[in-house]
């Protein structure tokens, strides 16, 4: 889940110059683009080998929780050195591998490739929309962080609960809420960088990557539910 180790927002009054903020934003976008490469590689390996699809649902969830939180912790511990970049790329590879289970299921539909491309395009549109909005909004959005974080943790535990409940209606509700919450997180996280609230581009990249990942995953699942066509 997003920003589990996120630093507290310090605001534009932290003394960060405009040049520094722009540099952090540029480095964040650059590293974000690079991080998509291991994500795609991990997803491709997962789909090609079927390693995640063959893994039991319970085992898969445990692997995800241990791997994701462990790597996020490692990224935050090393974010002030080049090692942080390596851990971040390892994290994005791992997340791509975890995504392969859903991708395999979606590719089982006759229009699976179209659904994936639609979800990718939709995620890109949402990101560019939120990022553009963040550059024009003058209002301080730091107050959003606490509410969004609470919402993210509620969703996290609700998804775990539904793993045992197996409720289709609850799952769909959670997916829609997840799409909304992490779209808002995109706006918040980009705005934090613009305002000087986040001065470490590795942490910023981790936060925005998780926003994008969760939006894509939620959108793809919703498209699969409503638009998946069996052969």
pLDDT for 15 equals 65
User: Please, where are the H alpha helices in the chain?
Assistant: 18-49, 51-54, 57-77, 82-106, 112-136, 144-165, 168-195, 201-227
Low-confidence ranges of the chain (pLDDT < 50): 1-13
pLDDT for 16 equals 72
pTM exceeds 0.85 for this model: yes
Q: What is the pLDDT of residues 3-27, one digit of tens each?
A: 443 433 334 445 678 888 889 999 9
Q: What is the pLDDT of residues 174-192, one digit of tens each?
A: 999 999 999 999 999 999 9
Q: Tokens 């936060």, residue?
A: 207
184 vs 127: CA distance, rounded Å: 10
pLDDT for 176 equals 96
Domain ranges across the chain: 16-226
């Amino acid at each position: 889940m997003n920003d589990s180790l996120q630093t507290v927002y310090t605001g534009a009054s932290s003394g960060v110059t405009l040049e520094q903020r722009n540099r952090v934003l540029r480095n964040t976008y650059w590293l974000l683009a690079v991080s998509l490469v291991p994500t795609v590689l991990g997803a491709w390996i997962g789909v090609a080998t079927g390693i995640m699809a063959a893994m039991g649902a319970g085992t898969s969830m445990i692997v995800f929780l241990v791997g994701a939180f462990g790597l996020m912790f490692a990224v935050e511990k090393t974010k002030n050195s080049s090692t942080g970049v390596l851990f971040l790329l390892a994290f994005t590879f791992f997340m791509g591998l975890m995504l392969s289970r859903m991708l395999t299921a979606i590719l089982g539909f006759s229009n699976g490739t179209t659904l994936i491309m639609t979800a990718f395009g939709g995620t890109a549109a949402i990101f560019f929309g939120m990022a553009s909005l963040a550059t024009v909004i003058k209002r301080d959005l730091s107050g959003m962080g606490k509410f969004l974080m609470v919402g993210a943790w509620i969703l996290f535990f609700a998804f775990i609960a539904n793993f045992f409940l197996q409720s289709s209606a609850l799952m769909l509700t959670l997916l829609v809420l997840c799409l909304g919450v992490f779209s808002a997180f995109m706006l918040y996280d980009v705005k934090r960088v613009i305002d000087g609230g986040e001065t470490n581009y590795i942490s910023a990249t981790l936060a925005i990557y998780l926003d994008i990942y969760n939006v894509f995953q939620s959108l793809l699942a919703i498209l699969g539910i409503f638009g998946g066509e069996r052969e």
